[in-house]
Structure 1
């Protein structure tokens, strides 16, 4: 197509066009060249349109799938808040009302589509301190594979630590709790995994293609209404109807 356009342009003679305009006579070759140039240009335009339409259609389908996925997530979050989940930052949390061993606690979290809590920051640790209400709670940290090597339930290594003074200190204590002492931050301790304690589940939200989507990327969304700050009073007052109203 590009070669045809180049040939048509090469055949076009502007001086011949001017002469035809002055004399009032148009040669057959001049009309033929003009027609050929017009046809080639239209052909190029058609090729460009045929190329662009599938790309636009793919983009439209991707946006539609993304919209449907976000609406589905909002519906799931609305249901979760009715079941007692609390929202903070980019996760939702559930604290149990009964006591189980560490492995039984993790099994319960998995049945809820979540896992035991992973604490990544000081702010999150303070939030959990308020959430657990003074109870000692299992978190998703163990050292079962090798003594002194602690890993989270997702396989990641422990980097941010909030051990209580003198902790960890047990040779047969391979599971970790939060709330061992009254300090709101440094209160972790290693415990025997068979102890019966409450537990905290965590579920990451707004996952897309294996990547966490930041709430700030939703230009139509008010982040303060979706996930409150570290103020637990705000989090506890969160209601699923605020999600439903925003979806309408």
Structure 2
């Protein structure tokens, strides 16, 4: 809006009128209104930037939590697989023991991962071995003095077949698993292959005369005595 003032004529300018344009209240208000959208836009940008920053922080936190959950899931999966393996092994071992105890009498003895039991009927060496194998065992194999002492204590002085024979070659004694005889508990003068007809071994030989350690002797394989069976745990 223009505000006119009274014209004054300088001496060198005739009939010329000057006026001055002064801003009034309405112009000031209009100037303020023109700056308001700029301020609002600036505030909106600040709010938008703040929102983006907050969302980015939350996204990073969620990513970290996701990775932690993935790690926990992986660890739980590994533990589950380990437990499954342990369960499978225990099931196999349980089934093994079940199969063992199905065939082993109640009066069996246990020593160094093997079950031992003695037959109740006197039979030949081969028939006694068949009795053992039908029950998942075999005639006993003695590999140490401790085992011989255990058998002496467990089964007393009963003459019983053990898994030792030289039927394949005279004088070459082998166990039923085809291993060569190394630790020996023969009674004095044994084996003697009396009458060239003694190719199987017994323990608990009566002539030993020892209460703590029974000894061996060779007997005719068709001689009827009981047999000692051994079933290994594994």
Normalized against structure 2, the TM-score is what? 0.62
| 1:54-106 residue CA offsets vs partner (Å, 9 max, x unmatched) | 32222222333444556563796498453x32334433222122211111111
- Matches for 1:118-157 after TM superposition, within 5 Å: 118-157=141-180
Equivalent pair of 2:100/2:136 in contact (CA under 8 Å) = no
Q: Tell me which residue corresponds to 1:56.
A: 79
Query: 2-side partners of 1:204 and 1:36: how far apart?
Result: 62
**1:163 and 2:186 are equivalent in the alignment:** yes
Query: 2-side partners of 1:111 and 1:79: how far apart?
Result: 9
Q: How many residues align?
A: 183
- Matches for 1:188-203 after TM superposition, within 5 Å: 188-203=216-231
Query: 2-side partners of 1:106 and 1:115: how far apart?
Result: 6
SS in 1 for 2:83: helix
Equivalent pair of 2:118/2:226 in contact (CA under 8 Å) = yes
SS in 1 for 2:163: strand
SS in 1 for 2:151: helix
Equivalent pair of 1:138/1:197 in contact (CA under 8 Å) = yes
- Matches for 1:174-193 after TM superposition, within 5 Å: 174-180=199-205, 181-182=207-208, 183=210, 184-185=212-213, 187-193=215-221
Q: Tell me which residue corresponds to 2:198.
A: 173
Distance 1:204 1:157, change over 3 A: same
SS in 1 for 2:69: helix
Q: Tell me which residue corresponds to 2:137.
A: 114
Structure 1 unpaired stretches of 5+: 1-22, 208-248
- What is the root-mean-square deviation of aligned Cα atoms in Å? 3.3
Q: CA deviation at 1:48?
A: 1.8
* Higher RCO structure, 1 or 2 (CA under 8 Å, sep 6+): 1
Q: CA deviation at 1:143?
A: 2.7
Structure 2 unpaired stretches of 5+: 1-45
Q: CA deviation at 1:203?
A: 1.9
Query: 2-side partners of 1:139 and 1:159: how far apart?
Result: 15
Q: CA deviation at 1:188?
A: 1.2
